[in-house]
Amino acid sequence: MKSFFLGDLEIKLPIIQGGMGVGVSLSGLASAVANEGGVGVISCAGLGLIYHKSPGDYLSKCIYGLKEELRKAKEKTRGVIGVNIMVALTNYADMVRTSIAEKVDVIFAGAGLPFDLPSYLTQESETKLVPIVSSSRAAKIICEKWKNNYNYLPDAIVIEGPKAGGHLGFKVDQLNDENYSLEQIVPEVLEITSNYKSEKRIPVIVAGGITTGEDIRHFMDMGVAGVQMGTIFVTTEECDASSEFKKVFVDARKEDLRIIQSPVGMPGRAIDGEFIKSVAEGKEKPKSCPFHCIKTCNYEKSPYCIVQALYQAAKGNLKKGYAFSGMNVHLTQKISSVREVIANLKAEFGKTMS
């Protein structure tokens, strides 16, 4: 596997660990991946719940939590650390400003189009900016807007396909349509980035259902610089979620996956369970909203509180929450270390060369 560059930052192992909230990818998992040469990513979602004992209101707790997780990561690794910030968060701007002030290496911004992301950079900033998109159209619009408005081009682009876990940038009827597969989208995005090659090299990173070394080889042969992987890192010893949460992934079968409608307003891929059934029966409707964490969420119309559901699940209370997962969760059958997972991916990748 070849290294690649995010600006002047060399990524020695072309694997980005996907940001997973709430409390699934924090400093523990991120630093372990970074120590192997990849990019470890801390999720900003719901940090105020995880750090509920810190001072101030929910938004203040989120800022405190992000600073703490970045501090812990820096103590554990000298590798590359990123943060994943959903554009849909009401505290998106706070999380971006805090990340840049704390000198995080990379910001990955998705769940919405981060049109204004470069506006938060200062002259001293070294943080790299990477949008997460689901179409070549979105990639083109971001490149044009960033260049015209801020004279800045993305340091990389993550293309997340329809086999990903969590929130999906597709309509439900597009998820199994080959016209929306990564194989269709990737060449289109590579063509867009090639238009800017005289100004800046923009690496393309693919995400969504990538599970094996063969998968990595397949997309690298298409011309991508790296891959983003989430689900495969949930069942690691270093993952920050509870052992009960990890067990759900180890036990999951392909037929256990469900496409659900999230209160965020997007479809999501999740592992079926008691809570999802309870939501379908209308038993989880929130009576109030103390967090106001998502711009597009109206608790009076929401079937449940998503930040609470994801937080409870990660803590191991699967009666009160559920797990988002990628398409190939059934391939993850045991708890391993991050080092073992990456060694296995390298071995699989190596076999494709023979």
Q: How much is the pTM?
A: 0.96
How many Cα atoms sit within 13 Å of 122 on the Cβ side? 10
Torsion angle of C-alpha atoms 84, 87, 92, 95, degrees rounded to 10: 10
- Give the Cα separation of 334 and 326 in Å (integer): 16
CATH of domain 4-242+331-351: 3.20.20.70
* Residue with token string 């719940």: 49
To which residue do tokens 């968060």 refer? Answer: 89
CB 203 within 8 A of CB 158: no
pLDDT of the chain along its 354 residues, tens only? 999 999 999 999 999 999 999 999 999 999 999 999 999 999 999 999 999 999 999 999 999 999 999 999 999 999 999 999 999 898 999 999 999 999 999 999 998 999 999 999 999 999 999 999 999 999 999 999 999 999 999 999 999 999 999 989 999 999 998 999 999 999 999 999 999 999 999 999 999 999 999 999 999 999 999 999 999 999 999 999 999 999 999 999 999 999 998 887 789 999 999 999 999 998 998 887 777 777 777 777 888 888 999 999 999 999 999 999 999 999 988 999 999 999 999 999 999 876
Query: Where in the chain is CATH 3.20.20.70?
Result: 4-242+331-351
